[in-house]
Chain A
């Protein structure tokens, strides 16, 4: 196989970051219940977590709830009368009932309200969390309502993405945490891409295994062979995959890959449905004016003419994929236990101007699902075999450099938390 893309002077993407090493790695961090409990404390209760976008709370009183099982809580995010977006633990101060839910306490809800009223005894809270009404207040003992607001959670917004941090006083601000990689995406027109497809599945694997599955494309020509006409699939499997560029940014990481201009390819290389609806895996072929290409300075960092896609992996569980044709995807991986997580995938497009544009989006969304089902199906199989511990060390290649980094960073967070714990 001929190397197409230039690797760093160190000789490989992995060697460019010596702290990663090049030896086999252990997946004990994905099968150990003890490690999972440490991750909950060290990572998920102490880092910035993306829970939504500002479009979900368009006006005063707009709210949504988010179940954060990994943090052992449920939160409610709401836009106040003062236009500020706040997050609270979703819990009444009286007897601890979950405050905002409809028929099923564990189902996430969204809506618009003027205040929050607890179903249990009718206590009411303003949108800024202040306790405003107690049923039969005179029956209580020296109770000052000012002492019982909803418990607020640190919240900040980056490029329209709402993040929370369960730490009482987060050690790092959001912008600092997102670092150079976040700064490089500033200015991307996220707020204009409001046509959303939201996919969800519970997956029988550790959360990091699905991140691994989507942060290397070494698998793509093999696992997804049957998704293409044989004239494309077989040569592309024989050629293998090479990323254009990889970068690590603190706990975060990214990969740039090439993108096929399928619309310029010979007809026999393209599925008939893609030709008919002018769309496919890489999104709609007819690009909105001014809305394509590297729309933010951090995209296509190698400046490569064959660039088609960047995958930005924000630690711990938020992924942004920006595609050359002017749309983006997000992934979230919400742990439920050591060997189970909730996967959410969202496709964001510009609102379609007509049925043809809408149909092109439909084909992109359907294609995404066909591929993701193959990715998802391998995970439970991997998890169960890892748990056998028949083999405990696994070689990773240079195209899997981001997998190596994720597992190292998770270990570093757990180690750092352990040290702090001992100091106390």
Chain B
């Protein structure tokens, strides 16, 4: 069954891995992903971000249908992989091996 709105069926191959509701899940997924995986997700999703924003903006934020919520979560994941892709060429923040910072309270959606 499709997770994303039909207009974004081209992103469906990335939905299972990257439609994650919490920052903790997205951060863990990034650390568990190869740069190749993240590059292909980024390359597919980044050009679609503008259309996805326009699609989502048509709904009230507190009443998104489930498939639109998944699309929003996919865009959160795009943001999550952006520093590795655009800056560091590695999943980890450089020079921050031992540090952690947990997001213990986050807005929904």
Task: Return the CB mask of A146-171 against B: 1 if under 8 Å, else 0.
Answer: 00000000000000000000000000
In addition to A355-B57, A355-B59, 17 A-B residue pairs with Cβ atoms within 8 Å of each other are: A197-B103, A198-B103, A200-B101, A201-B102, A226-B88, A271-B87, A277-B49, A356-B57, A359-B75, A359-B76, A359-B79, A362-B75, A362-B79, A365-B23, A366-B83, A374-B95, A378-B95
Bound together, the chains give a CA A229 to CA B87 distance in angstroms of 7
Knowing A276-B50, A362-B79 touch, does A373 contact B93 (C-beta < 8 A)? yes
Number of A positions contacting B (CB below 8 A): 42
A196 in contact (CB, < 8 A): yes
Which of chain A's residues 350-408 have a Cβ closer than 8 Å to chain B? 352-356, 358-359, 361-363, 365-367, 369-370, 372-374, 376-378, 380
| A420 contacts partner chain B, Cβ-Cβ < 8 Å | no
Q: How many A-B residue pairs have CB under 8 A?
A: 117
Whether a CB of chain A sits under 8 angstroms from the CB of B53 is: yes
The answer to whether residues A377 and B99 also contact, given A227-B87, A277-B79, A356-B56 and a CB cut-off of 8 A, is yes
- Asked whether B107 lies within 8 Å of A195 as measured between CB atoms, the reply is yes
Complex CA gap A374/B103 in Å reads: 16
Chain A residues near B76 (CB, 8 Å)?
Answer: 359, 362
Number of interface residues of B (CB under 8 A): 37
Tell me, yes or no, whether A182 is within 8 Å of chain B by CB. no
Q: How far is the CB of A171 from chain B (nearest CB, A)?
A: 34
| Minimum CB distance partner of A108 in chain B | B104
Query: How far, in whole Å, are A213 and B75 apart by their CA atoms in the complex?
Result: 32
Task: Enumerate 22 A-B pairs (CB-CB under 8 Å) in ascending A order.
Answer: A195-B107, A197-B106, A199-B103, A201-B100, A226-B94, A226-B95, A272-B82, A272-B86, A273-B86, A345-B101, A353-B61, A354-B61, A355-B56, A355-B57, A356-B56, A358-B72, A359-B53, A359-B75, A365-B23, A366-B82, A373-B100, A374-B99
Q: Taking the complex as formed, is A113 at the interface, i.e. its CB lies under 8 A from any CB of chain B?
A: no
- Give chain B's interface residues, CB within 8 Å of chain A: 23, 46, 49-50, 53, 56-57, 59, 61, 64, 72, 75-76, 78-80, 82-83, 86-88, 93-107, 109
Q: Which residues of A contact B64 (CB under 8 A)?
A: 355
| CA gap between A196 and B107 in the complex, in Å | 7
- Which residues on the B side are within 8 Å of A223 (C-beta)? 95
Kindly provide the distance from the CB of A355 to the nearest chain B CB, expressed in whole angstroms: 3
Closest 5 A/B residue pairs (Cβ): A198-B105, A355-B56, A273-B82, A377-B99, A373-B96
Residues in chain B near residue A197, CB distance under 8 A: 103, 105-107
Q: Output the least CB separation between B29 and chain A (Å).
A: 13
Flag whether A145 is at the interface (Cβ < 8 A).
Answer: no
A74 to chain B, nearest CB (A): 18
Confirm or deny: A261 has a beta carbon within 8 angstroms of a beta carbon on chain B: no
In the complex, the chain A residue whose C-beta lies closest to that of B97 is: A377
B46 proximity list for chain A (CB < 8 A):
272-273, 276
- How would residues 220 to 245 of chain A score, 1 for a CB under 8 Å from any chain B CB and 0 otherwise? 00010011110000000000000000
Please determine whether A201 and B101 come into contact, CB atoms closer than 8 angstroms: yes
A229 CA to B86 CA, complexed, in Å: 8
* A372 CA / B87 CA spacing, docked (Å): 16
Residues of A within 8 A of B61 (CB): 352-355, 358
Q: Across the two chains, which residue of chain B brings its CB closest to A353?
A: B61
- Residue ID in chain A nearest B72 by CB atoms: A355
Give the chain B neighbours of A201 by CB distance below 8 A: 99-102
Inter-chain contact A370/B99, CB cutoff 8 Å: no
Q: Are A373 and B109 CB-contacts (below 8 A) given A272-B46, A359-B75?
A: no
Given known contacts A359-B53, A377-B95, is B105 in contact with A227 (CB within 8 Å)?
no
Residues of A within 8 A of B75 (CB): 359, 362
Known interface pairs A227-B83, A355-B53; A199-B102 also in contact (CB < 8 Å): yes
Alpha-carbon gap, A318 to B43, bound state (A): 41
| CB closest chain-A residue, reference B68 | A355
Given contacts A197-B105, A363-B79, A366-B80, contact A354 B56 (CB under 8 A): yes
Minimum CB–CB distance from A193 to chain B (whole Å) comes to 12
Query: Are B95 and A354 neighbours in the complex by a CB distance under 8 Å?
Result: no
Q: Report whether B95 and A271 are in contact in the complex, using a CB–CB cutoff of 8 Å.
A: no
- Chain A proximity of B34: nearest CB distance (Å): 19
Provide the residues of chain A in CB contact with B106, threshold 8 Å: 197-198, 365
